[in-house]
Chains A and B, each alone.
Chain A
Amino acid sequence: MTETLMSYEEALGSYDPALGLEVHVELNTNSKMFCGCPTEFGAEPNTQVCPTCLGLPGAMPVVNGKAVESAIRIGLALNCEIAEWCRFARKNYFYPDMPKNFQTSQYDEPIAFDGWMDVVVEGPDGEPETFRVEIERAHMEEDTGKSLHVGGSTGRIHGADHSLVDYNRAGIPLIEIVTRPIRGAGGRAPEIAKAYVAQLRDLIVALGVSDARMDQGSIRADVNLSLAPAGSDVLGTRTETKNVNSLRSVERAVRYEVQRHAAILSSGRSILQETRHWHEDTGITTSGREKSDAEDYRYFPEPDLVPVAPSREWVEELRGTLPENPTARRARLQAEWGFSDLDMRDTVGAGALGLVEETVAAGAAPQAARKWWLGELARRANEAGVDLVDLSITPADVARVQALVDDKTVNDKLARQVIEGVLAGEGTPDEVVASRGLAVVSDEDALSAAVDKAIADNPDVADKIRDGKVAAAGALIGAVMKEMRGQADAGRVRELVLEKLS
């Protein structure tokens, strides 16, 4: 079904969006939330399971202390209060990928609550501006299994004949971070949503508590959106868009839902309270489950677990392990790198702050690191429809590519081929240079011979240069580079041409 959309500008003329973000972070603990099963991504199906995470009759959960520690550190990094006493609760609903038919989660007693995060976005005047996102809560829970839908044409749930369930993911620790409704974002709602998730991910990376791979689902965002008539305080009916699994999708999904809601409301119809599914490929949301009154999770305290009561000493000890706060970190890095406000905003906006930082740490000059991530790599991420961090190249690889340029092993053009090779899984930059034979030819005899050949093949051009028309050298340099299949230092070729023809 194709939805009618209102243009984004028109929608914002009549309505104020209210945003809410629920982000699930899969922790990178060795073992699961309530059992000792491993948490490796991509293992053979049902090889990382035990009676507890399979929900076998009689099995019982035991809390992973490291997961509690990570939850507290995330809470503290989000400026939250840490509960002095809290419990796990059962969220009861039936679904085949959930082994016990209840999720062990937290309900009215989350481990962390009442926090905030300042996100940096572009202000109305184009200058960077800080926007405070309030955090309602961060709580601990467990992931579900994964279903493979068989028999349908698309591999999707609809039209499938039956499904195959793998419970390796069931029981992996999740921290669910929920914002308060974000009001007053106006037309910047999509940008703020994206910036929030990007910064949250940076924070998670800095804390070292998750692989933070959106493409592998270790960070998953649900986007709640409602529209209120411009100037009104009354929130409209909200929809909850699931499966928003990249930063660019966060932005696109918010924009799409604003336009869809506005079209429905302006035609006098009302919004259905429902979950929506985001489709990365087509850039639209489709209707999911209706959130009716029948939804009744019958929460109650998990009787198989005892309360979590983190001592204040422990909390303060964990506070001491927190990375620098994001605002201070940005200011410090900007000063260290000598970036302009604009450079800095673009770097943060692209979700590349951490990547640039790591690339610099690996030895690259800050501007060079920025150039790679915001130029060539951004272009390739965009082509592939993934986020920068999800590209299969590490900051250390990027720093090495730059080092190869700096020592003239490769030129700019070859460097891009090196990157292509690394992204294609051909190995490290040095391995790609070797296997693709990309190193610049530095053999002076070979270069000299190639220059002589170009002069002999282009006598007219050679004459012009001899007559002092140095600009004509470009044609000979081109011929040499072609002969050398690009693997020559163009600057050295130019020197040789001019030497020989002077």
Chain B
Amino acid sequence: MHLLRLYLAFSKVNFLTQMEYRTQYFLRMVTKTIAWLTGFILISVLLYRFRAISGWSTYEVLFLYTLDVLSYSLAATFFLSPFQNLSRNIRLGMFDEVLTKPVNPLLYYMCTKTSAGYVNNYIISVVVLGLCFKNLQIKLTVAKLIALVIVLLGATLIQSAAFMLTNIPAFWLVKSNSLYRLFFSNITGFLQYPLSIYNRSVQIFLTFILPYAFVNYYPAQYFLGKEEYLFHPLFQYLTPLVGVLFFTLAYFLWKLGINNYQSTGS
């Protein structure tokens, strides 16, 4: 409880600093919205002509994509800025500060860098989700709503773990953001369309090695009633579990990284 209050206090300061330049913030939101909308538009354009891709209709694919965008945005709110700049912060010796505070380092590091820049994404995502439910005639019962929240939490944990895992090598190597860039500009590209269109080895990779398919593909089967089980029907319920496990792994490596950390001393 104490930690939560602390976190809220930090976030408030953070949000307020970012909102200080009101017009700047607004303009940034508008352009960001345009940029993020292109993903949705391109999917709609492609499927307008082809109607479906391997049995998934336009709104089903949009639903898939929205789960990815929303969980990504939630994770990015807390993890993008701290971890994207981890290698720089270490190099410039700014990371020392994090370790000298009497709070859990990860918590402190996260909440001093929380971003206010994803509000537009939450809005777009919720609107598109609503449109999907309406057009696919899925009744949003209380049970489904709770399931949706839980799935989003699990997916957000997976995405957060990915932010951490791709940047933690910075503790050992001085300059390392190619892994991060490869991951978030290419590997996440697999998530836009159903996993079933890819090769078996990709399906295995994204399920068992890098469990990214649990962000959207498997839970979407549950919500959309798809019976396209690649491995086992049970997988559609596993997102929260996978999220917790994957995040624990990332946290463990983060601990290892901190123990290994030696200040650059500048």
Q: Do A and B bind each other?
A: no
Point out residues on A near B: beta carbons under 8 Å: none
